Chain A
Amino acid sequence: MNYIYDLHRTMMSQKLILVYDGDFTQETTKSILAMAERNLDSSGEESGIKRKVFNVMVEALQNIVKHSSEQGLTAGSLVSKSAIFMISKDDKRYCVMTGNPIPKVHVAKLTSNLDDLNSKDKEGLKEMYKDIIKNTQISEKGGAGLGFVDMARKSGEKLEFSFHSMDGEYDFFCLKVNILREKE
């Protein structure tokens, strides 16, 4: 049972304050948000930072919910639908991190979207946001990458991401969004 202690030590050394691994629905999203919010409140975090962290959490969680419902993985597949969500906190920053399987065919598009976002400054992101919100149909619920644009805006830092091959069909997509605790 060494892994119990190992996992605990990893959480301590990585300064993780919350980790959830499993299926994601709107209900789990609400529970995770409530837990994280209690944590932020009890630590007396400044309200502006708290709002930004909450904001990034919502978009990150709802992205996962949307993707896991889109996938419809075949029964007997080695790839689980389950995803991971975590938050770390140290003196300088909060990090909201997610990992979830995505079909390999979507990797190139997602990479170019995120690279594009990371190449933009504050004004550029604002223009992108307004452009998407004006030109996207209501029926496409939540799509079009507005969530990533919003996370980049609230974070004020580059979005960090990587892909790890799971099998012939799926990659595991890891995303890390930083929220600085110190005012610039």
Chain B
Amino acid sequence: MDILNLKGTEDTPTILLDKKNGIFEISGRSLPEDSAEFYKPVIEWINAYSAEANPTTEFAFKLEYFNTASSKLILDVLSALEEIKGMKVVWYFHDDDEDMEEAGQEFSELVEIPFEFKTY
């Protein structure tokens, strides 16, 4: 399956989804003008991956900042991940960023996926 590799900009995150090497990561800043449009290929990729997923998947969120329009789409990404067996989310936050830690906890309460919290 093709690798999805989006280079981050000042208002969009870096996204690397690589089945072969087992790398699944969204990192950086997410405040695009049209978040639905930006996340569309990501959700499509995950839905395709779902049909031929690796036995286990660790999906990393390493976000520095995201706006409220992105938060809805992050929930959509998580809902797509929820359908996949052996899924685990690793939620990274900067060790003094309580808001990002809390955001991760709130997402974990909204979906049925195990979350692991790590600082960076």
- Give the interface of A toward B (CB within 8 A): 26, 30, 34, 47-48, 51-52, 54-55, 58-59, 62, 65, 126, 129-130, 133-134, 136, 138-139, 141-142, 146-147, 149-150, 154
Q: Is B33 an interface position by the 8 A CB rule?
A: yes
* A136 to B, closest residue via Cβ: B72
By a CB distance below 8 angstroms, the chain B residues around A48 are 96-98
> Quick check: which of B18-26, B44-52, B61-69, B112-120 contacts chain A, the rest being far away?
B61-69
By a CB distance below 8 angstroms, the chain A residues around B98 are 48
Beyond A59-B68, A136-B72, list 13 extra A-B contacts (CB 8 Å). Answer: A30-B11, A47-B96, A51-B97, A52-B99, A58-B67, A126-B106, A134-B75, A138-B36, A141-B35, A141-B36, A141-B69, A142-B35, A146-B71
Question: Is B68 in contact with A150, judged by CB distance below 8 angstroms?
Answer: yes
Q: A130 to nearest B CB, angstroms?
A: 6
Complex CA gap A48/B98 in Å reads 8
Complex CA gap A121/B11 in Å reads 31
Question: Is B76 in contact with A138, judged by CB distance below 8 angstroms?
Answer: yes
Could you tell me how many residues of chain B have their Cβ less than 8 Å away from some Cβ of chain A?
Answer: 24
Q: A5 to nearest B CB, angstroms?
A: 35
Question: Is B68 in contact with A130, judged by CB distance below 8 angstroms?
Answer: no
List 10 A-B pairs, Cβ < 8 Å.
A47-B94, A51-B65, A130-B106, A133-B110, A139-B36, A141-B34, A141-B36, A141-B69, A146-B72, A149-B68
Question: Is B72 in contact with A30, judged by CB distance below 8 angstroms?
Answer: no
Complex CA gap A34/B31 in Å reads 13
* B74 to A, closest residue via Cβ: A133
Q: A142 to nearest B CB, angstroms?
A: 4
Residue from the list B36, B75, B96 in contact with A133, Cβ < 8 A: B75
